[in-house]
Amino acid sequence: MRVLVTDPVDDAGLDLLREAGHDVTTGHDLEGEQLLDAVRDAHALIVRSGTEVSESVFEAASELVIVGRAGIGVDNIDVDAATRHGVVVANAPEGNVRAAAEHTVAMTFAAARSIPQAHARLREGEWAKSAYLGTELNGATLGIVGLGRVGQEVAKRLDALGMELVVHDPYINQERAAQFGAELVEDLDDCLARADVATVHTPLLPETEGMIGAAELETLGDGFLVNCARGGIVDEDALAAAVADGSLRGAAVDVFAEEPLDSDSPLLDAAEIVVTPHLGASTRAAQENVAVDTAQQILAAFRGEPVVNALNAPSIDETAFPAVEPYIELADTAGRIAVQLLDERVGDVEIHYQGDIAERDVELVTASALRGVFGSLEYEVNAVNAPRIAEDRGVEVTESKTRQADDFQSLVTVTVGDGTDEMAVCGTLFADDDPRIVRIDGYRVDARPYGQALVARNRDEPGVIGFVGSVLGQADVNIAGMFNARETSGGEALTVYNLDNPVPEDVLAELLADERMIEATQLSLEREG
């Protein structure tokens, strides 16, 4: 596999990829047509914040499996486009968490004690001791906007230093905040009004862009603002104005809406604003950690295993994966059988889990069932884009679980409906993870889901199976195995024939010409790609 690296990444991660036998190509500062040319035959792309991974990149890179972001923020990656093209986007949120938290703490102290300003004046020969009256953090209130991984680490460190903590984060509850010694407040303004120091730790999203502007800074009042999260969350012009006119005591900023920061930025004119050039993750340990984490996720994607930090694909803890892995292909096959037997009419899909599998995290299994359903209907369907395809097609997808399973330890049933008719296909695993299809449309069968198959429904009369075998034999189509089931004697029967080769169309027509035959559907159980 070929891995393209377009931003500087520590060799610790790249060496892992090379040791696994993959071709690693570096091309820093690629953009425009050069980037599109370089990515055309790449199977993985590793970036940091310097590369814009747009729709055109995914259109050019038909072989691309995964984009790995060596860091946290992915605002430079069009994740929606990646999903449409079936490409995994994964970041490395853990590797630089400590580094970002420590830089936040350092910036908080730097702003509160005017350390950089005093340092600069002393270097210029000025003993400006009386010019700076610092603010003690012990006993002060820290307002944390976003209690994610970095926010949690900041909370731990500054709580230990005697600060009172209040948190605004709509995605956590009070119990979670209390674990970090913080009080949760529902309203951002409440958090800022109570804070002596406010620190930002949210991703840059449409709902967080410009989240802290002039009105919010006025609410913060005579305090400090620290932003080591993402540029664009804080209105930089409003921040510079608030510090310049003294309504805000000071600020510390490591990230900017446009990077590098322009030399005429108003942030550089306000003496009480500490600025650093996006250094939050710039430690030796952090750079090595994110590179290794990114490489490991790329290796997992190449092996067809879950990508732990995938942002647009079903994921699962690597320790839980072995228990559900055998069901992934089984669900895919059940989906493919069901949709083919319903003549590819899809209006709704239900995936029902029974028995032991119902106790597991089955998100990845459900996505694989959808991959099977849509595999013959769409180009390049995989577990990444199958849920999006269902949404785009207006197909209702439901997932249900039952802890009990009659006759089997675990069952996975995929039911495809078109609003009028439906087709249910049920699969299980026998000993040694041997997959079997055990029910089709209510008929009890025992079919091995491999290769080519013929599902025939007929009147339950003597000689029908012999007739089918004779017609197939004359066409040189060998039967590898078969299983017959019926509703009642003399009613209807369903037979699954495992075949060594496909049934020609004229042979299918010959079978259906017999008045005893009701349906005969050829199935391809080999998944392309």
Interatomic CA distance for residues 233 and 366, integer angstroms: 36
CATH level 2 (architecture), domain 2-93+285-302:
3-Layer(aba) Sandwich (3.40)
Q: What is the pLDDT of residue 449?
A: 85
Interatomic CA distance for residues 96 and 21, integer angstroms: 27
Q: Burial code of 147-170, b = ≥16 C-beta within 10 A, e = fewer?
A: bbbbbbbbbebbeeeebbbbbbbe
Least confident of 251-255, 314-318, 430-434, 501-505: 314-318
Whether omega before 435 lies within 30 degrees of 0, making that bond cis, reads: no
Q: What is the pLDDT of residues 186-219, one digit of tens each?
A: 999 999 999 999 999 998 888 999 999 999 999 9
Greater model confidence, 382 or 369 = 369
Domain boundaries for CATH 3.30.1330.90 within the chain:
321-524
SS3 at position 203: coil
Pairwise CA distance, residues 388 & 81, whole Å: 11
Q: How far is CA 84 from CA 21, 114, 249, 381, in A?
A: 29, 49, 47, 9
Q: What's the predicted TM-score (pTM) here?
A: 0.71
Question: What pLDDT, in 10s, does the model give residues 485-528?
Answer: 887 777 899 999 989 989 999 999 999 999 999 999 988 876 54
Instruction: Give the bridge partners for 89, in sequence order.
Output: 67
Q: Considering the chain, what is the average pLDDT of its residues?
A: 93
* Mean pLDDT for the stretch of residues 384-388: 89
What is the reported pLDDT for 529?
43
For the chain, the straight-line distance linking the first and the last C-alpha, in angstroms and rounded, comes to 15
pLDDT at 451 over 90: no
Q: Which residues are paired to 396 by β-bridges?
A: 348
Helix (H) or strand (E) holding 127: none
Tokens of 358: 């119902």
Q: Where in the chain is the domain with CATH 3.40.50.720?
A: 2-93+285-302, 97-275
Residues tagged active-site = 230, 259, 278
pLDDT tens by residue, 210-248: 999 999 999 999 999 999 999 999 999 999 999 999 999
d(CA 327, CA 332): 8
| Chain mean position to CA 311 | 2
Structure tokens at 200: 């930002």
Closest CA to 333 of 361, 369, 374: 369
* Amino acid letter, residue 262: D
Judge whether residue 315 has pLDDT over 80: no
Among 448, 499, 509, residue whose Cα is nearest residue 476: 499
β-pair type (434-440, 422-430): antiparallel
pLDDT in tens, 63-87: 999 999 998 888 899 999 999 999 9
Q: By the 8 A CB rule, do 91 and 74 touch?
A: yes
Q: In what order do the strands lie in the sheet with 66-69?
A: 23-26, 2-5, 44-47, 66-69, 88-91
Q: Indicate the length of the chain as a whole number.
A: 529
Pairing, β 492-499 against β 452-459: antiparallel
Q: State the pLDDT at residue 245.
A: 95
Nearest to 373 by CA among 415, 401, 410: 415
Flag whether pLDDT at 57 surpasses 90.
Answer: yes
CATH number given to 321-524: 3.30.1330.90
Level-2 CATH architecture, domain 97-275:
3-Layer(aba) Sandwich (3.40)
Distance CA 471, CA 454 (A): 13
Q: What whole-number percentage of the chain has pLDDT above 70?
A: 99
C-alpha distances out from residue 421 to 152, 157, 280, 413, 426, Å = 51, 60, 57, 16, 17
